[in-house]
Homo-oligomer: A and B are copies of this chain.
Amino acid sequence: MQDFVFQNATKVIFGKDTEQMAGQESILYGKKLLLHFGGGSIKESGLYDRVVQSVKDQGIEIVELGGVQPNPRVSLVREGIALCREHNIGFILAVGGGSVIDSAKAIAAGVNYEGDVWDFFTGKSAVEECLPIGVVLTIPAAGSETSGGTVITAEDGWYKRAVGHETMRPKFAILNPELTYTLSSYQTACGITDMMAHILERYFTNVKHVELTDRLCEATLKTIINNAQTVLAEPENYDARAEIMWAGTVAHNDWLSTGRIGDWGSHDIEHEISGIYDIAHGAGLAIVFPAWMKYVYKHDIKRFAQFAHRVWDIEVDVNNLEKTALAGIEKTKQFFSSIGMPVSLAEAEIKDDRIDEMARKGTERGPLGNFVKLHEEDVRQILHMAK
């Protein structure tokens, strides 16, 4: 086990009707807030009205900024920063999924920074402080509701980059599984893939003696897998939606990574795909992860065999661990496919003509991943395996 420091102070408020607590939690951070959201879905569902009412009941003044897109753009982040400065806003309430929360975090980091916010994402500058933010979550997927990270896309060159800082963790996260009933099958499946990928990135580590967190990872993966078909078949099954929603947070709130070093190569490769093609992050991960697994599994066949056995209940062939390992990878790919995800670039209608560009851009700041260090040629090969 690695030495570690762990702290995650986000207050999670989980259950039915909890969005009505948005106001009483927000008032702790001031009398004025930026309400940040995406498209019209929260207005259609009535969620917007309920949150606004809850906030207004506390006498809080609202400045609005909607329009966050999937793969949130730095241009809207800049708009948010300007709004916060203009109205002297000290708190941001994000109502939506990972894109909205990530956009809110980037705004929060940029308000008190003199330069351009994209500096944080190029590495030109480091985040030092953020405005406090709160979350009403509508899409369980990104885990951004309690994480200290954000991923933003710059339209200029379609770079998609991640930044993390402890002060980015939301002060509170409101999770009502009922709010996820209206998600489409595709959105639901993308979320399931994303949360599984967050665990897989943590699971494939070179750190030895990580039994507790191995088992916690496996427990969370099994729960997601066991509830996936249920939420797809019965979108209004509260119990299954609740398991998936809480698992999505647990997948990325750092409980599962204590004492480990994660990989994150597949996430970085995926960012190159969705940065250019604007596909859903979860769909991109379903394409990349099986190819990545096949490319790297020989680095630690035992770990992949353990994964196959404990997560997918595949019997261990003690005389042929490689066979067991490969069966686990195949099962992972089949699972993503079974929930409606593309598992190749072709299935996502992406041609192979920009693979070289993605491999180059993805590695221009250095090799990707930790389990196996991936250089430009490695990324190119993985993307070709994912064709």
B-binding residues in A (CB < 8 A): 1-16, 18, 208-209, 211-212, 215-216, 218-220, 222-223, 226-227, 239, 242-243, 246-247, 250, 255, 258-259
Contact = CB atoms under 8 A, between A and B. Distances in A.
Contact of A259 (B4, B8, B242): B242
Contacts of A15: 2-4
How many copies of the chain does the oligomer comprise?
A: 2
Given A5-B13, A6-B14, A216 B209 contact: no
Nearest to A217: B219
A14 B7 contact: no
A220 B212 CA distance: 6
A7 B14 CA distance: 11
A198 to B, nearest CB: 14
Contacts of A243: 1, 209, 211-212
Given A220-B216, A246-B259, A18 B1 contact: no
A64 to B, nearest CB: 28
Contacts of A216: 216, 219-220, 250
B2 A6 contact: no
Contacts of A6: 11-12, 14
Contact of A219 (B3, B11, B218, B246): B218
Contacts of A1: 14, 239, 242-243, 246
A14 B259 contact: yes
13 contacts: A1-B242, A1-B243, A3-B14, A3-B15, A4-B12, A7-B10, A8-B9, A209-B243, A211-B223, A212-B223, A215-B223, A219-B219, A246-B259
Nearest 9 CB-CB pairings of A with B: A3-B15, A215-B219, A9-B9, A209-B239, A7-B11, A219-B219, A212-B223, A6-B12, A1-B242
A161 to B, nearest CB: 28
B211 A226 contact: yes
A259 to B, nearest CB: 7
Contacts of A4: 12, 14-15
